[in-house]
Amino acid sequence: MSQFLSRRDLARLITRIENGEPDAQTTLNELYTHAGGARVIGITGAPGSGKSTLVAELGRELRARPNPPQVAIVAVDPSSPFSGGAILGDRIRMRDLFGDSGVFIRSMASRGALGGIAAATADVVTALDAAGYNFILIETVGAGQLEVDVARIAQTVIVVEAPGAGDEVQAVKAGILEIADIIVVNKADREDVAQTVSALQSALDLSPANGAPPSQDIHHGPPELTGSAGATPADERWKPPIIKVSALRREGIDELLAAAEQHHEYLETSGEGQRRTQRRAEADIVARLRELLLRHALAQLPPHDYARLVDAAAQRAIHPAQAAAALLAALHL
Amino acid sequence: MSQFLSRRDLARLITRIENGEPDAQTTLNELYTHAGGARVIGITGAPGSGKSTLVAELGRELRARPNPPQVAIVAVDPSSPFSGGAILGDRIRMRDLFGDSGVFIRSMASRGALGGIAAATADVVTALDAAGYNFILIETVGAGQLEVDVARIAQTVIVVEAPGAGDEVQAVKAGILEIADIIVVNKADREDVAQTVSALQSALDLSPANGAPPSQDIHHGPPELTGSAGATPADERWKPPIIKVSALRREGIDELLAAAEQHHEYLETSGEGQRRTQRRAEADIVARLRELLLRHALAQLPPHDYARLVDAAAQRAIHPAQAAAALLAALHL
């Protein structure tokens, strides 16, 4: 099944990526040029939205197709000290997937990877892609900057919401609706589902950024870097559909996969897919350059100067911004 | 009431900080040397945990004391397009606080501040501190990297949990327990409160990092930078208490403030407060240096080289890490 990597080599490579081993990069450089064929789908949502069950059902549905695709599932949990499948293995609904040789399942924890867990996840996706996996499902826990970063890795982002999770819609509060290509209201067997759908629809209607790329990049680079490849005109923009699903009852999974397929076609025909690829590459390069520059600078700076300026800022003799400017000046760039 | 800033000047300065106006820095450099006297308390928790109501009740309780302290409330919501109090003003339970001249309330949204919203929040706290506010309550929405960054600004971090919010305890899933100095189980009038307290206690008992500073710094700097000021021995470490509160019924607020007072005393007597100040200054400097270096580098790089390498990575001719390394080399540092 694998073009470039056995299952065993793949598992080892992922561990090396997670551990931030520098020699993994040589392998990744080679694999990167062979990757790019996989469909990468991100699934995110607040705790309790049932996204783990949904991911398992998506995997199962894909594997039940005629000529089933190879499916990889990556669960990203920065708060977890475990990795290598320990958490996922406990999930009852994923058990039969674990026995399927056409499915690769892995959970990732954050360790020492350069650029953080988002960069490590991008590298793991590269490895899975080059290894011949046709669908790569990335599940992220929580709702924050990590989700935005992971969204940049995925081609299609599914945001999962459970009905009645609070007096406010969680996705709206957490600001992750703007990264959604498809919105799933899970647990659609519950009675308060209509209210949640309507709240989500209102939020979508109000959001100017909706369907468009995020207008500002807080994390990966200064705003002036983004959007260099141009934006899609408003009338051609993708309107995220809201799809009712009951992952537990296996209802709505087909509709969700059909929506993902439509989004894929949109990306291909509108040119948005290519623009996203460009933006992703740029954000990745800038994130890595930022860390390289910092490491280089810290290695160059006389430790005494550094410690003295930290002390001065801690004692409120100077503002940290002044200390940073003094360090920049000391580098004589 | 204000030593260095009128209420009106303060509001204007905060707007300048939010907008990332460079000339605000001159004012901040001056104010920073006069700040450091305020008690800064961070309040975080998942959406629906009732932390907004809790923050309002903390403010009210502090203001009801004899010789009431000046209280500032800052709500940080990176997902919100609004700022300046628009959201907070809608909160019914905060209305009487808005009429109190000894209370300053402000919500912050993310804009163009160098170093992101965490750096902007740190600057706003500096301004409030220098202006003479004795207690600064920072409320953060969501549960992610932002909360960890904001936790570094606060001296005492309160994590708020509602009972029965899901089949798992949300704070545990989101990994924010490790930044907690005090854990609040809000809505303690509910019947499933004992179960939540017991789940939180188990999670605390299992966590080796608990009460200790985070062992790894994903966001602000390489791991080797942190902990330079030494760690607290295990037997002297703060054990985060779990406090049951009903903010809506105004029960448990006194106990919570007493726990915050105890934590403050712990910080003072153990030396941990000083170590936190040192780590905070270092993380702040490194975060700012990282952005300064990137801006400097992007201004130096020939735009043609930059665009060519981004294209090459987008077309999978080279890995983004190779592109970043090539850019670093082109800088001739």
pLDDT, mean of residues A243-256? 94
Q: What is the pLDDT of residue A78?
A: 56
Q: Which range, of A87-96, A199-208, A275-284, B114-123, averages the lowest pLDDT? A: A87-96
Q: How far apart are CA A89 and CA A208, in angstroms?
A: 41
Cα A218-A221-A227 angle, rounded to 5 deg: 90
Task: With beta carbons less than 8 A apart as the criterion, state whether B160 and B196 touch.
Answer: no
pLDDT, mean of residues B111-120? 63
pLDDT, mean of residues A240-268? 95
Q: Which range, of A70-84, A236-250, B83-97, averages the lowest pLDDT? A: B83-97
- Say yes or no to pLDDT of B143 above 70: no
Q: What is the pLDDT of residue B225?
A: 47
User: Residue A129: which residues within 8 A CB-CB, separation 6 or more?
Assistant: A31, A35, A36, A37, A38, A40, A136
Residue A78: closest CA among chain B residues belongs to which residue?
B175
Q: Which of left, alpha, beta for B238 (phi over 0: left; psi -120 to 50: alpha)?
A: beta
Task: With beta carbons less than 8 A apart as the criterion, state whether A204 and A263 touch.
Answer: no
Q: What is the pLDDT of residue A215?
A: 37
pLDDT, mean of residues A151-156? 88
Q: Which of A17-21, A106-110, B7-11, B119-123 has the highest mean pLDDT?
A: B7-11
Sheet harboring B182-185: ordered strands across?
Answer: B103-108, B71-76, B135-141, B39-45, B156-161, B182-185, B242-244
DSSP letter string, A117-161: HHHHHHHHHHHHHHTT-SEEEEEEEBBSHHHHHHHHH-SEEEEEE
pLDDT, mean of residues B60-65? 95
Return the DSSP state at B51.
Answer: H
For B39, the 3-state DSSP assignment is: strand
- Top residue of A153, A276, A310, A327 to mutate, by most chain B CBs within 10 Å, is A310
**Span A300-317, pLDDT tens digits:** 999 999 999 999 999 999
pLDDT, mean of residues B188-195? 86
Show which of residues 260-279 on chain A sit within 8 Å of chain B, judged by CB atoms.
Answer: 277-278
- Say yes or no to pLDDT of B2 above 90: no
pLDDT, mean of residues B40-50? 85
Return the DSSP state at A251.
Answer: B
- Length of chain B equals 333
Closest CA to A2 of A65, A56, A72: A72
Closest CA to A229 of B297, B311, B64: B311
Closest CA to A102 of A68, A61, A65, A53: A68
Closest CA to B294 of A300, A148, A301, A297: A297
Burial of A8 (0-12, 13-18, 19+ CB in 10 A): exposed
> In this structure, how many other beta carbons lie within 10 angstroms of the beta carbon of residue B290?
22
Which amino acid is it at B268?
E
Q: What is the pLDDT of residue A219?
A: 36
Closest CA to A47 of A144, A179, A190, A188: A144
- Say yes or no to pLDDT of A185 above 80: yes
Please tell me if residue A285 touches chain B, with a CB cutoff of 8 Å.
Answer: yes
pLDDT, mean of residues A224-244? 69
Show which of residues 5-44 on chain B sit within 8 Å of chain A, judged by CB atoms.
Answer: 25, 28-29, 32-33, 35-36
3-state SS track over B250-285: CECHHHHHHHHHHHHHHHHHHCHHHHHHHHHHHHHH
Burial of B71 (0-12, 13-18, 19+ CB in 10 A): buried
Please tell me if residue A174 touches chain B, with a CB cutoff of 8 Å.
Answer: yes
Show which of residues 204-263 on chain B sit within 8 Å of chain A, judged by CB atoms.
Answer: 216, 218-219, 221-223, 225, 228
Token reading at B271: 């030396």
Choose between A93 and B40: higher pLDDT: B40
Q: How far apart are CA A263 and CA A286, in angstroms?
A: 27
Q: How far apart are CA A197 and CA A164, in angstroms?
A: 10
Q: Which range, of A103-117, B37-51, B177-191, B312-326, averages the lowest pLDDT? A: A103-117
A to B CB pairs, distance under 8 Å: 221
- Say yes or no to pLDDT of A64 above 80: yes
Please tell me if residue B313 touches chain A, with a CB cutoff of 8 Å.
Answer: yes
Identify each DSSP E strand in chain A by its residue range. 39-45, 71-76, 103-108, 135-141, 156-161, 182-185, 242-244
Q: What is the pLDDT of residue B224?
A: 43
What's the pLDDT band for A19 if we cut at 50, 70, 90? confident
**Stated pTM of the model:** 0.77
**Span B221-260, pLDDT tens digits:** 333 444 444 556 666 789 999 999 998 899 999 999 999 9
Closest CA to A293 of B36, B286, B156: B286
Average pLDDT over chain A, rounded to an integer: 82
Which of B79, B278, B310 is nearest residue A281 as measured by Cβ atoms?
B310
Choose between A333 and A89: higher pLDDT: A333
Q: What is the pLDDT of residue B98?
A: 80
Q: Which range, of A96-100, A289-293, A308-312, B209-213, averages the lowest pLDDT? A: B209-213
Q: What is the pLDDT of residue B163?
A: 84
Q: What is the pLDDT of residue A86?
A: 42
- Say yes or no to pLDDT of B84 above 50: no
- Say yes or no to pLDDT of A227 above 60: no
Q: Which of A192-196, A269-273, B15-19 has the highest mean pLDDT?
A: A269-273
State the nearest Cα–Cα gap between A91 and chain B, in angstroms: 13
Residue B122: closest CA among chain A residues belongs to which residue?
A320
- Say yes or no to pLDDT of B29 above 80: yes
Residue with tokens 């609004």: B82
Sheet harboring A242-244: ordered strands across?
Answer: A103-108, A71-76, A135-141, A39-45, A156-161, A182-185, A242-244
The per-residue b/e assignment along B127-161, b for 16 or more CB within 10 angstroms, e otherwise, is bbbbbbbbbbbbbbbbbbbbbbbbbbbbbbbbbbb
Q: What is the pLDDT of residue A231?
A: 58
Please tell me if residue B142 touches chain A, with a CB cutoff of 8 Å.
Answer: yes
In Å, how far are A149, B140, B165 from B158, measured between CA atoms?
27, 11, 18
Q: What is the pLDDT of residue A38?
A: 97
The pairing of strands A242-244 and A103-108 is unpaired
Q: Which of A97-101, A329-333, B199-203 has the highest mean pLDDT?
A: A329-333
Task: With beta carbons less than 8 A apart as the criterion, state whether A153 and A119 touch.
Answer: no
State the nearest Cα–Cα gap between A92 and chain B, in angstroms: 15
Residue B140: closest CA among chain A residues belongs to which residue?
A174
Q: Tell me the helix, strand and coil percentages in chain A, rounded to 5.
A: 50, 15, 35
Task: With beta carbons less than 8 A apart as the criterion, state whether B139 and B44 touch.
Answer: yes
DSSP letter string, B226-254: TTTT----GGG-----EEE-BTTTTBSHH
Task: With beta carbons less than 8 A apart as the criterion, state whether A60 and A96 touch.
Answer: yes
- Say yes or no to pLDDT of B38 above 90: yes
Task: With beta carbons less than 8 A apart as the criterion, state whether B180 and B147 touch.
Answer: no
Residue A80: closest CA among chain B residues belongs to which residue?
B175
**Span A27-56, pLDDT tens digits:** 999 999 999 999 999 998 876 788 888 999
Asked casually if ipTM beats, i.e. exceeds, 0.90, the reply is no
